[in-house]
Structure 1
Amino acid sequence: MGPEGKTLLNIIILGFGFMFMFTAFQTCGNIEQTVIKSFNSTEFHGSGYTSMAIIYGVFSASNLIAPSVVAVIGPQLSMFFSGLVYSGYIAMFIHPYTWSFYTASVVVGIAAAILWTAQGNLLTINSTDATIGRNSGIFWALLQFSLFFGNMYIYFAWHGHVHISDEDRQTVFISLTVISLVGSFLFFLIQKPDPEATPSEASESLLQTESTERASIVVATPGLSSQALDAFKKALQLSVTKEMLLLSISIAYTGLELTFYSGVYGTCIGAMTQFGEDAKSLIGLSGIFIGLGEILGGGVFGMLNKCNRFGRNPVVLLGLITHFVAFYLIFLNIASDAPIAPEEGTHLQAYITPSVEVALLCSFLLGLGDSCFNTQLLSIVGFMFREDSAPAFAVFKFVQSITAALAFFYSNYLLLHWQLLIMVVVGFLGTLSFLVAEWVVVSSRRDTDYDSI
C-alpha cells in the first residue's frame, strides 16, 4: 500500500473508531434527560442538561492542557484512554447515583478535550493541503453514522414504551458501553504515516509523536516537559490571532446548535404528548434523521471538495439557510415549554397542529446544516494552522465547548423560542465572520502564488 493509501486508511479507521464511540455517547446524550425523568429513585437527583453543561464546561477549560497531554503520550494513546473514560460515563447509567453522575461528567469533560485535540492532530498529519477537505468530509460522514445506528436501536427498543423501566435502561446502557469499548480499541489499528507522504510540518509532528511513545519510561525528561509547555503556550498564542478570532464566532455557533440537536430537540419531541404513545421512541427516530443529514452533508461536501471552485463560503451559507428553515418550522411545530416539561410531557400546542413528519424533517435539516458548518471549519482550521494543528484544534474545541456548556445550562430554564432566537442571532454573525476568514485565506493564497512567480 502506498503512502496515500495508508493515510486514507488511517482516516477511515479514525472515522470508524469515533463512529463506535459516539454511537454510544451521542445516543446516551440524546436520551439521558428522558431516562433521568423516568428513573424513580430517592438516591438520585440529577439533570441531564446540567451533566452536559458540566461536561462541556470542563471540556472547555481542559482544552488549554490537552495539547500538552497529546504532546507527551501521543495522539493514539490519548484517544484510547479518553475512549475508556467515555465508556465509564455510559456504564454509570446502568445504576446511577447523583455523586457518580456528576463526577463522571467532570472526568469525561477532561477526556473529551484530549480526545478531540488528538483527533485534529491525527487528521492533519494524515492529510495534505489537497486532501484535508476530502479527509474532513470522510471523517465527518463516518462519525455521524453514530447517530444513525444508536438511535435506530433506541427506536426499536423503546417503541410503544410510555415509561422507561429500570430493565429498559440497563439493557440499553450495557449495550452502549460495549459498543463504546470497541471504538476505543480500534484506534490501535492506526499506522504511522510515512514522512514523505505529508508536508514537512507533518513529518515534524510524526517525529514528535514517535519520541513521546517512550513517555512511560522517560516521562520526567526535560524535553517532554518543555514540549508540553510549548504546546500550552502555542494554544494561548493561536487563540488571539486574527484568523482564530474571526472563526471563533462560527465555532461558537456550532457549540450552540450541537447542544440543541444532541440534547434539547430529542427531549422536546419526547415531551410532546400530542405525538401519542410513540413520542419516546421518536427520540430515536429523530436522531436517525439528524444522522442522515450529517452523513449526506459530510459525504457530499467532502467528496466535492476537490472540484469546488467557489471555496467554502457557499457550503456555510447553505448551512445557515438550512438551519434557519429548521428553526422556523420547529418554532411552529413544537410547544414552547417542551425543553423543560415534566416526565408526563407538555399538553401545550405551538402555532400549527403538531406533525411528526415536520419534526423529523427538522431533524434532517439540523443534521445537514451542522455538517455544512463543521466540515468547512475542520477544513479551514486544518489548512490555516497546519504547523500547529494540535493547539489549533484545542482552541477550536475550547470555543465550541464553552458555548455548548452555556447552552446546556440555559436549557434548564429557557423556553424553546428563546433558545431558537439565540441560535439565529449567533448563526448569522458566525456566518459573516466565516466569510471574512475565508476571504483572508483566499487572499493569502493569491499572494503566495504571486510571490512564487
Structure 2
Amino acid sequence: MSLDTGTRNVVRLSISFMLLFFAYMSQEFIQEPLIEAEHRRTGLIDPHAGYHSFAILYFFFTIACLLIAPIVETITAKWSMVIGFMAYVLFQAGFIWLNSAYLYVTSAILGVGAAFLWVGQGKYLTENCTGKTIERNTALTWLIFKFSLLGGGIFLFFMFQNQTMTELVATGGVIPPPSLFSYNPFQFQYKIFVYIFCSITFLGCLNTVFLPVSAYLPEKKETETLAQTLSATFKIMRQPPMLLLSFIFLYTGFSRSFWIAIYPTCIKFTTQLGENTSKLLAISCIATGIGQILAGGIFSIIGKRARIIGKDWICVIACCIHLGIFVAIFLFFPSDAPLHPTDKIGYFQPSVHVAIVCSGLLGFGDAIIQTQVYSYLCDGYSKESSHAFALFKFYSAISSTIAFFISKYFTLTGHLVLYGSFAILSAITAVIAQKMYFHKTQHFFQENTSKIHPMISSEPIKIQITDSGSTISNMPSFPVKGKEAN
C-alpha cells in the first residue's frame, strides 16, 4: 500500500529527529554522571552542573515557547526546525572543552532553539495529517524517532563495555590496544564521541533543510504581532479543555526528566548494582528505547482503532504503569541515589533485572502518553497548532525546569512522590477532559464539515474530521483583527 504525501513527509521529518536525538539523547543520558566524573578529576566544574544545565535549558525553553509562535508562522515550520538543529550542534560542541560558562550559556541558547524545533515539529506534523492519518502518523513519528534512543543505548553499551565513566573522562586520547584481538573501537576519549555526535546532528539538520512543503497547508493568515500571539495563546490557555490537558502536559515534563536524567543517574550512582554501572546505564538506555519503540509500534499498527478505547483510558493505563514502576524504584533503590555515588540499598537489595525492567516500562508508558497528547493537539487544534504545541511545550518545560532545579536537593523519595502525584492527576483529568470536552461519539465519527461557532462551555468540543484535516466546530479560532473566522 502506497503512503500518502503527508505520511511520506512525516517519515522524512522523523528521520531527521532520529538522527538528532541519537546524538543528543546519548549525550544527555550520561551528562550528569560524566560531569560528576570530570569534577572528581579536575575539580574545575560543579559536580551538579549537569542538573544546572538542564534547569537553565528548560527555563529558557519555557519562556521561548510563549514568544516564538509568530516567528514560526513567518519563517515556516521547516526553517524553525533548522534553527533548532543548529542550537543543538552548538551545545553539543561545548563538551569538547567542558567548562561551566560555555555549558550554561549554550544551555540557554539550546532552550530557545529547542522551542523553535518542537513548535516547528508540531506545526509541520499537523500540516501533514488528516482525520484518517492522525493516530498512525503521530505513532509513526514516535516509533522512528525513538529508534534514536535504542541506537544511542547500543552505542553507549559498546563504549562502556571495557571502561567506566571515570576511565572515559580520564583518557587523553585513543587508548592503544594491548593486542590486536582485544581492540575495542569504542574505547576512546569522550571528546571523540562528541565529534561523532555533532556530525550526526548536522546530518539531521541537512535532511530537515530539504524537507518538502507540507501536504495540507492551512489557509494563509495575516502575520500576527507578538501581542496578538500572546493574546491568542492566553485565550487558548484559559479554555477548560486546555486547562485540563495542562496537567497531562506537566506530567510529560516530569516523566521525561526522570527517565532521561534522574533515573539513569540513580543507576550510575548505585554501586550495589555492580562494578561497571556505566555499562548498566547503557543497557538501561536500550531498554527505555525498546519500551518507547514498542509503544509507538503498537499505536502505529492499530491506528484509528485506538479510538475505540479512548484517549482518556489509554492515558490512565500509562499512568498506572508508571505508578507501579515508581513503587518498584522506591523499594529497590537507595534514597540518596540521585545525588552522589552510594553503596546503600533500598528496602530490598538493588537488582539489575528490576532496574532494566523499570527502564523499559518507563519508556513504554511515556511513549503512550506522548502519542496521545500529539493526537489530542493534532485533532483539536489544527487551526492554532503553533499556539497549542507552544502551550504543550510551555507546560512540559515548566515541570522539567522544576524537576532539574530541585534535583540537587531532592532525594529519590521526594522525586517519586512528586511525579506519582502528577501521574494520578493526569489520569483523572484525562477522563474528565474526554467526558466533558472530547466526547467519543462526536469526536471520533463526525465526517462532515461545518462553520466554526463560538464555544459553548457546556457542550463537548465537536471536532470535524475530513480527508483534508480536522477542525473544532465550537471553539474560537482567534482571527486577526479585521477578519472573521472561517
- TM-score, with normalisation over the residues of structure 2? 0.84
* 1:218 corresponding residue in structure 2: none
The 5 Å alignment of 1:45-444 reads 45=46, 47-162=49-164, 163=166, 164-167=168-171, 168-194=189-215, 198=216, 202-204=217-219, 207=220, 224=223, 226=224, 229-308=227-306, 309-341=308-340, 345-439=341-435, 440-442=437-439
The 1-side partners of 2:374 and 2:383 are apart by 15
TM-superposed deviation, 1:6: 1.6
The 1-side partners of 2:21 and 2:229 are apart by 27
The 2-side partners of 1:97 and 1:411 are apart by 20
1:395 corresponds to which letter in structure 2? L
Retained in 1: the 8 A contact 2:218–2:383?
no
1:203 corresponds to which letter in structure 2? P
User: Which segment is superposed worse, 39-48 or 184-193?
Assistant: 39-48
The 1-side partners of 2:232 and 2:246 are apart by 17
Retained in 2: the 8 A contact 1:49–1:412?
yes
Retained in 1: the 8 A contact 2:319–2:426?
no
The 2-side partners of 1:446 and 1:174 are apart by 48
Retained in 1: the 8 A contact 2:69–2:387?
yes
Retained in 2: the 8 A contact 1:302–1:375?
no
- Structure 1 residues 451, 443: closer, same or farther in 2, change over 3 A? farther
Retained in 1: the 8 A contact 2:310–2:440?
no
The 2-side partners of 1:420 and 1:42 are apart by 31
Retained in 2: the 8 A contact 1:160–1:277?
no
Retained in 2: the 8 A contact 1:151–1:285?
yes
The 2-side partners of 1:393 and 1:449 are apart by 24
TM-superposed deviation, 1:443: 5.9
The 2-side partners of 1:88 and 1:451 are apart by 47
**1:349-377 residue CA offsets vs partner (Å, 9 max, x unmatched):** 11112111110000001000001111001
Alignment root-mean-square deviation, CA: 2.1
The 2-side partners of 1:203 and 1:134 are apart by 21
**1:262-288 residue CA offsets vs partner (Å, 9 max, x unmatched):** 001111101111122220121111111
The 1-side partners of 2:424 and 2:233 are apart by 27
User: Which segment is superposed worse, 229-238 or 423-432?
Assistant: 229-238
The 1-side partners of 2:132 and 2:433 are apart by 19
Which residues of structure 1 form unaligned runs of 5+?
A: 209-222
Retained in 1: the 8 A contact 2:150–2:286?
yes
* 1:27 corresponding residue in structure 2: 26
User: Which segment is superposed worse, 250-259 or 154-163?
Assistant: 154-163
The 1-side partners of 2:362 and 2:445 are apart by 37
The 1-side partners of 2:413 and 2:159 are apart by 31
Q: Which secondary structure state, in structure 2, belongs to the residue aligned with residue 339 of structure 1?
A: coil
Q: Which secondary structure state, in structure 2, belongs to the residue aligned with residue 270 of structure 1?
A: helix
1:260 corresponds to which letter in structure 2? F
- TM-score, with normalisation over the residues of structure 1? 0.89
2:428 corresponds to which letter in structure 1? L
TM-superposed deviation, 1:142: 1.3
TM-superposed deviation, 1:149: 0.8
TM-superposed deviation, 1:313: 2.3
The 2-side partners of 1:102 and 1:323 are apart by 32
Retained in 1: the 8 A contact 2:236–2:242?
yes
Retained in 2: the 8 A contact 1:35–1:169?
no
TM-superposed deviation, 1:90: 0.9
TM-superposed deviation, 1:451: 9.8
Q: Which secondary structure state, in structure 2, belongs to the residue aligned with residue 183 of structure 1?
A: helix
2:209 corresponds to which letter in structure 1? F
User: Which segment is superposed worse, 263-272 or 304-313?
Assistant: 304-313
Retained in 1: the 8 A contact 2:123–2:385?
yes
Corresponding residue pairs, total: 426
- Structure 1 residues 58, 450: closer, same or farther in 2, change over 3 A? closer
* 1:16 corresponding residue in structure 2: 15
TM-superposed deviation, 1:160: 3.5
Calculate percent identity across the aligned residue pairs: 29
Q: Which secondary structure state, in structure 1, belongs to the residue aligned with residue 303 of structure 2?
A: coil
- Structure 1 residues 391, 452: closer, same or farther in 2, change over 3 A? closer
- Structure 1 residues 53, 446: closer, same or farther in 2, change over 3 A? closer
1:188 corresponds to which letter in structure 2? V
Retained in 1: the 8 A contact 2:377–2:389?
yes
The 2-side partners of 1:36 and 1:284 are apart by 17
* 1:213 corresponding residue in structure 2: none
Q: Which has the higher contact order (CA 8 A, sep 6+)?
A: 1
TM-superposed deviation, 1:302: 2.9
- Structure 1 residues 65, 172: closer, same or farther in 2, change over 3 A? same
- In proportion to residue count, which structure has more helix? 1
**1:95-149 residue CA offsets vs partner (Å, 9 max, x unmatched):** 1121101000100000111110000000001001221111110111111111111
TM-superposed deviation, 1:87: 1.1
Give the number of the structure whose alpha-carbon radius of gyration is greater: 2
